[in-house]
Structure 1
Amino acid sequence: MDTPGNPPRVTWHTTESPAGGSYFTSIAAYLIRVGAEPQVIYDPVTDQLGQFGPLTSSGRALKNDGARRTNREGKVNIQVEVLGKAASPWTKGFDPAAKPNYRKLIAAARAHGVPDVWPAGQPAATASAATSRNRTTWQSKGGHFGHCHVPGNDHWDPGAIDTSIVPGKAASGTDDDGGSSATKPSSATYTVKKGDTLSAIAAAHKTTVAALVKLNSLKDADKLTVGQRLKISGATATTPAKPSAQPLEPFPGASFFHGGRHSPIVTAMGRRLVAEGCGKYATGPGPNWTNKDKASYAAYQRKLGYTGTAADGIPGKASWDALKVPKS
């Protein structure tokens, strides 16, 4: 991209062809043949979704605006060719709830930071109305645009599509596949810096240690390397819990947990492990660190996604912070 410091956007096109499965492959082949590929082609009838290249790379479906390469505008410029005609907006009668691939496409745009707005307004309803191609808006605003909004271009597609559907709004309590969920996707990646902990990274990105462990296949969440890149996109963020009225016990260090340790911290930890469904106690828990505490903590580590020797039953800072042990 020529201007990766500019906001991310999606640019919507129509193929000016009929929609339906029989056209999907032939239109895709045509776009390749004439060198006018977007990143994505979508059929609203069959919910078929095709991708020509990475969403972070340039498409080829726009004309330049003089020396300005509009295909390469912004952090991303995800261009979508929708099978259909501008004169007959494809959103009429379109139900996103019945189109899982469409929802995934919108989720991908959000994951790249594209906001759910139309900075240049709703796409034009007719060719004669497609006169607003403001360069400042195009270059400085992130969100969704029609081909009709892009300076240097003369097409008026995608027509007067319904902007309550495209992109719609991220649903509260519903995941991107339409299922009921208390989670939502977070976006991008994160580069580990000196002093970072996984729990701090999770909190900053409104996700959980367990989600990051699973997404990145981490064997030991307490051993992060400076410069390590963590996937954040696709992690799930639960609705933040209300802060506990009771302060939390800070991590006492792994060396704290050994045979002979007697402390109310061990009791508080054990009670939290039981509350998480990981207690392996026949009686208790109590203040003495025992093999039952170790087995219970190992079960909790596995619940977080730790595998192999990483689930050794000895608390580390990331898992301890996630457990939220109340101060004794």
Structure 2
Amino acid sequence: MPELWMPGAIRADVGDHAPCDTQYPPKAIGHITWDKNATAAKPIDLVPFANLQSYFTGGGVGMAPHILWNPFSGGFAQFYPADSRSKSVVDLAGGTRTNRAGKVVIQVEALFFPYCRVDGKVYATLADTPCKGWQQLQDWVTSWGVPQAWPMGHPTDFSPHRNEHVWETEGGWYGHSQVPENTHVDPGSWPAFMAVPKPPQKPVDEPFPGSGFFTTGRRSPIIAAMHARLVAVGCNHYASPANANVWGSGDERSYAAWQRKLGYTGTDANGIPGPNSWSKLHVPNV
């Protein structure tokens, strides 16, 4: 099961947990805190992360999201577990329960306002920021089954685009500007989804284990795989198929035959594998 609390986030549980309406598809909602009104002509220093964390656990608890994200430092605070509703969007009586309409409805407030100033640099949009921690946040939200998609379009400006049918029927990411019953027009932008790193691919062939690996009595599935390859390439000088995973005189005779087949002579065909002859034998990775 995915983690209820995002790994690495400050856990600032405000209580008052409540279930979501799980008949709807899973969603995430992107917000910006927009706690100051700055302009290109008059930028304002970014409000400290601790101030917003205190706000959402104090006077602003009635508007707390799941996650407060600092895109400049990669820091996070979490106020509700993933499977609870949070309270960052307006929820009118009688309509879609906007804070609950999904298997999860994970709400993320990015610490940002247009033309905030950080270390002397001014940022017009959230996407302009370093977006530190976005991969970590994206991966956690995705682990809850939220598709990496924007059903109503990736936010690129501060204008509303709302469709209650899409909201109720399609999972994915939504901007606050796309949530029914709401009037806010944030977040204005959001970072693009990042590719999930692929796990390292196991080599097709077994890497050469070193000449010192091949000593009398050595037991290993690598030796068994080599044995099978030597037989397959017509270099079978084994007295018996028994103990195919144990290095012995039959392996040495058979490997010497393989070396001679490659054109090696004299001490270069002594039956002890070397890196070049091994690579050409294509022993399967075990």
The interval holding the TM-score normalised by the smaller chain is 0.5 to 0.7
Q: Determine whether 1:24 maps to 2:27.
A: no
Of 48, 57, 75, the match for 2:75:
48
Kindly indicate whether the alpha-carbon contact (under 8 Å) linking 2:20 and 2:84 is maintained by their aligned counterparts in 1: no
State the aligned residue count. Answer: 191
Q: Distance in 1 between matches of 2:163 and 2:170?
A: 11
Secondary structure of the residue that 1:136 maps to in structure 2?
helix
Of 100, 124, 139, the match for 1:72:
100
Query: Which amino acid is the alignment partner of residue 5 of structure 1?
Result: Q
Q: Distance in 2 between matches of 1:46 and 1:110?
A: 21
Q: Which runs of 5+ in 1 are unaligned?
A: 176-181, 184-237, 243-265, 276-282, 293-323
Secondary structure of the residue that 1:41 maps to in structure 2?
strand
Q: Distance in 1 between matches of 2:240 and 2:145?
A: 46
1:84-118: CA deviations, max 9, x gaps? 125732111x345xx2x221111111111222211
Call closer, same or farther: CA 1:39–1:14 in 2, change over 3 Å: same
Greater displacement, 14-23 / 117-126: 14-23
Kindly indicate whether the alpha-carbon contact (under 8 Å) linking 1:116 and 1:169 is maintained by their aligned counterparts in 2: no
Call closer, same or farther: CA 1:80–1:285 in 2, change over 3 Å: farther
| Larger helix proportion of the pair | 1
Kindly indicate whether the alpha-carbon contact (under 8 Å) linking 2:223 and 2:246 is maintained by their aligned counterparts in 1: no
Deviant stretches of 4+, over 4 Å:
18-22, 238-242, 266-270, 272-275, 283-286, 288-292
Call closer, same or farther: CA 1:78–1:269 in 2, change over 3 Å: same
1:41-67: CA deviations, max 9, x gaps? 011122211111212221111111433
Q: Distance in 2 between matches of 1:144 and 1:62?
A: 14
Of 24, 32, 37, the match for 1:6:
24
Secondary structure of the residue that 1:104 maps to in structure 2?
helix
From the CA coordinates, give the structure whose radius of gyration is larger: 2
Q: Which runs of 5+ in 2 are unaligned?
A: 1-18, 37-43, 116-123, 205-218, 229-237, 248-283
Q: Determine whether 1:83 maps to 2:106.
A: no
Query: Which amino acid is the alignment partner of residue 77 of structure 1?
Result: V
Call closer, same or farther: CA 1:20–1:117 in 2, change over 3 Å: farther
Kindly indicate whether the alpha-carbon contact (under 8 Å) linking 1:267 and 1:285 is maintained by their aligned counterparts in 2: no
Q: Determine whether 1:149 maps to 2:178.
A: yes
Deviation at 1:121, TM superposition (A): 1.3
Who is 2:143 aligned against? 111
Matches within 5 A, 1:56-67: 56-67=83-94
> Could you state the TM-score of these two structures normalised by the residue count of structure 2?
0.56
Kindly indicate whether the alpha-carbon contact (under 8 Å) linking 1:20 and 1:43 is maintained by their aligned counterparts in 2: no
Call closer, same or farther: CA 1:59–1:44 in 2, change over 3 Å: same
**RMSD of aligned alpha carbons:** 3.8
Quote the sequence identity (%).
27
1:232-270: CA deviations, max 9, x gaps? xxxxxx65999xxxxxxxxxxxxxxxxxxxxxxx99896
Q: Distance in 2 between matches of 1:110 and 1:49?
A: 17
Call closer, same or farther: CA 1:75–1:22 in 2, change over 3 Å: same
1:217-236: CA deviations, max 9, x gaps? xxxxxxxxxxxxxxxxxxxx
